Amino acid sequence: MRQVILYIAMSLDGYIAGPEDNLDFLALVERPGEDYGYVDFQHNIDTVIWGRRTYEKVLNFIPAYLHQDKKVYVLSRTKTGQEGHVEFYGGDLKQLITTLKQQPGQHIYCDGGAEAVTALLQEKLLDTLVISVIPHLLGGGIRLFKDGRPEQGITLTKSLTFPSGLVQLWYACQPENPKNE
């Protein structure tokens, strides 16, 4: 069955970007020939979900990248329509995920930002969290996990350490426990 997987990096103190959306801290762990499993991960997905701000940030960095071989949904309250293989989606997120999971295909990749992650967590739509922790304290910026989301159990399924100091944590999101009757 298709899974919705958050695959993202954050600082040790929980930020996915510094003040003014600064991502310079990500370069602290760049090493020649090391991609922290990203290329292998990409072989198992065929759909990408991004928040609009993340999409625009990536578009400014590397416009040719944009997952040309995948279906991309950009969550937006203001922008609609399509740009090539990218569809701007402002509808019900739970309905989108339910529809995607019922279709044949590979896993569904979410790469942020914080608004998209919060929306997915609020509806308990994430199946797996893959969080690469960068050994750096930003002290401020955009937090990965915003307040106001419901409590949710997770189970550590794998942890990897790298010479750069990056630690990658894999968690399975637990389904809600049925009430004992």
User: Which architecture does CATH list for 16-144?
Assistant: 3-Layer(aba) Sandwich (3.40)
pTM, entire model: 0.91
Report the run of H or E that residue 93 belongs to, with start and end. helix 93-102
| Model pLDDT, residue 68 | 77
pLDDT band for 136, please (50, 70, 90 cuts): very high
Asked if residue 180 has pLDDT above 60, the reply is no
Asked if residue 142 has pLDDT above 90, the reply is yes
Check if the beta carbon of residue 118 is closer than 8 Å to that of residue 146. yes
pLDDT band for 111, please (50, 70, 90 cuts): confident
Residues 6+ apart with CB under 8 A from 129: 5, 6, 154, 169, 170, 171, 173
| Cα 123 to Cα 65: distance, rounded to the nearest angstrom | 29
Check if the beta carbon of residue 155 is closer than 8 Å to that of residue 171. yes
In terms of phi and psi (left: phi > 0; alpha: psi -120 to 50; beta: otherwise), the region of 36 is left
| Model pLDDT, residue 150 | 86
pLDDT band for 177, please (50, 70, 90 cuts): low
Residue 54 or residue 96, greater confidence: 96
Indicate the DSSP class of residue 180.
Answer: P
Summary mean pLDDT of the chain? 90
| Model pLDDT, residue 153 | 93
| Cα 108 to Cα 127: distance, rounded to the nearest angstrom | 10
Asked if residue 64 has pLDDT above 70, the reply is no
Asked if residue 27 has pLDDT above 60, the reply is yes
| Cα 94 to Cα 99: distance, rounded to the nearest angstrom | 8
Q: Where are the domains of the chain?
A: 16-144
| 143 to 69, 140, 146, 148, 158: CA distances (angstroms) | 30, 8, 6, 13, 23
Check if the beta carbon of residue 45 is closer than 8 Å to that of residue 70. yes
